[in-house]
Structure formats: C-alpha cells, structure tokens
Chain A
Amino acid sequence: GAVVSQHPSWVICKSGTSVKIECRSLDFQATTMFWYRQFPKQSLMLMATSNEGSKATYEQGVEKDKFLINHASLTLSTLTVTSAHPEDSSFYICSAGLGAGVFHEQYFGPGTRLTVT
C-alpha cells in the first residue's frame, strides 16, 4: 500500500522550455502532496506543499511563478518548471500524505531527474 508514482522518471529539455512532472497516489487519496528538490550529495529541500483544490504554499526562496504547482484531484499533483535553465537541473521528488494529525505520513514517488541543456 501507499504507492506513489511520478512521470516522467527522467527528462532532458532545452533551456527556455517548460517541463511538466506528474505525481500520482495510486492506492490512496492524498489531500496534501509535497514537492522536493535534491541536488547531488545534498539533502532534500522542500519546495512547496500542495493541497487539493487550493493554491500551493511555497517555501521561502522558491519562485512560485517559475515552479507552478497544480493539485487538481486527490490523486494527482503536477509541477511545471517554466522557462527552465541549466541551474534547474536536479532530482525532483514528490511525496503524498496519508493519515491525520500527528500520524500524517509522507510516501515518496520515485523521483524525476531533470537535465536542462
């Protein structure tokens, strides 16, 4: 149980283009999903918290106009990297939340490796 998928698993795009990454909870409904970025040999950095049907909450320093998040349903959240640049190349990982209150747990998708050329 608690399976989260991401698509695509890797993507290469040209500088200036946009890339959309999908995150799906396959066997549960997630009112909250999270988007992280991880650079090589560094820890996870939370980018934003996404709640179904409402605007995402972005962490300090994350450009909301560059990283567009849509949480259209209880099983799907998307992250669009707009006008991507080489410095946006990273490992993007989503997680989906299950449970309530203090027992709310996060389950991660397999991640999307983005390379901007």
Chain B
Amino acid sequence: QKEVEQNSGPLSVPEGAIASLNCTYSDRGSQSFFWYRQYSGKSPELIMSIYSNGDKEDGRFTAQLNKASQYVSLLIRDSQPSDSATYLCAVRLGDTGRRALTFGSGTRLQVQP
C-alpha cells in the first residue's frame, strides 16, 4: 500500500462544476496535510493546508480532513479551464518530527470549456 494515494485521473469536469479530488494516507498519526497545484512543466504551488478535522475554505477551494477515515479531499467550486492541472496531495506522515512531506502521485484535472 502506498503511503499517500490519489487517483491519477484524468478527472474531467465541465466549466462551472465542482471538482472533487481525494487522497488517502496510511499513517494514522499524521497531522499536517497539504494540497499543491502543478501546471505542466512548472513546479508545485501550495494552495491549501489543513491540520484539523473538518472543512477549511479559501475562495473557491475547500479542503476537507477526516483523520478517523484517513482521507483528505479538495473541492474546487465553479471550476475554470485555468484550474486544469495536476493536484498533488502531500502529508507529513506520522509524528516523528521529520519535516519532509510525502507526496501522492497526483490527480490530473481537466476542466472542459
């Protein structure tokens, strides 16, 4: 089992729809969770961080965390063609004090005009 798992996609949604991206992780002791967006040929950009169970909203983005079920999700409302990118879920696994993140393989999102 991979430590951080994401569906590779592509996830295709029409413009204006809600895109839902999911991620599961293996280590129940994990406390820090991040979503990055990576456009083709570019480096990742941090778009959301979440540390507590529940929802965290920032503009059109909502991150959701459920530690009991070990999953974290990202909702993108009113999806735009410019949202087309690969979305990387990153988790700081466990409680070892190690600062490094473990990344999922990413979900490619395509927003159709």
Residue ID in chain A nearest B90 by CB atoms: A106
Q: Which residues of B in the span 1-58 have a Cβ within 8 Å of any Cβ on A?
A: 31-32, 34, 36, 42-46, 49, 51
Cα distance A86–B100 in the bound complex, in angstroms: 28
Verify if A46 is at the interface (C-beta below 8 Å from B): yes
Contacts of A105 in B (CB 8 A): 34, 46, 49
In contact, A32 and B99 (Cβ under 8 angstroms): yes
In contact, A34 and B100 (Cβ under 8 angstroms): yes
In contact, A44 and B92 (Cβ under 8 angstroms): no
- Bitwise, A7-41 to B at CB < 8 A (1) or not (0) is 00000000000000000000000001010000000
In contact, A44 and B42 (Cβ under 8 angstroms): no
In contact, B46 and A106 (Cβ under 8 angstroms): yes
In contact, A111 and B42 (Cβ under 8 angstroms): yes
Q: A43-B106, A102-B51, A104-B92 are in contact. Are A97 and B46 (CB under 8 A)?
A: no
A-B contact count (CB 8 A): 47
Total chain B interface residues with beta-carbon distance under 8 A: 21
Cα distance A46–B93 in the bound complex, in angstroms: 14
**CB < 8 Å: which of A42, A93, A103, A107 contacts B32?**
A103
Minimum distance in angstroms from B34 CB to a CB of chain A: 7
Q: A44-B88, A105-B49 are in contact. Are A49 and B99 (CB under 8 A)?
A: yes
**CB < 8 Å: which of A43, A109, A110, A111 contacts B105?**
A43
Contacts of B43 in A (CB 8 A): 93, 108-111
Contacts of A111 in B (CB 8 A): 42-43
Task: Please name 11 further chain A to chain B contacts, defined as beta carbons within 8 Å, in addition to the given A46-B100, A104-B32, sorted by A numbering.
Answer: A44-B88, A46-B101, A49-B99, A102-B31, A102-B92, A104-B92, A106-B101, A107-B46, A108-B45, A110-B43, A111-B43
Q: Name B residues whose Cβ lies closer than 8 Å to a Cβ of A.
A: 31-32, 34, 36, 42-46, 49, 51, 88, 90, 92, 99-101, 103-106
Q: Name A residues whose Cβ lies closer than 8 Å to a Cβ of B.
A: 2, 32, 34, 42-44, 46, 49, 93, 97, 102-111
What are 9 A-to-B residue pairs whose CB atoms are below 8 Å?
A32-B99, A43-B88, A44-B88, A93-B43, A102-B92, A103-B49, A103-B51, A105-B34, A108-B36
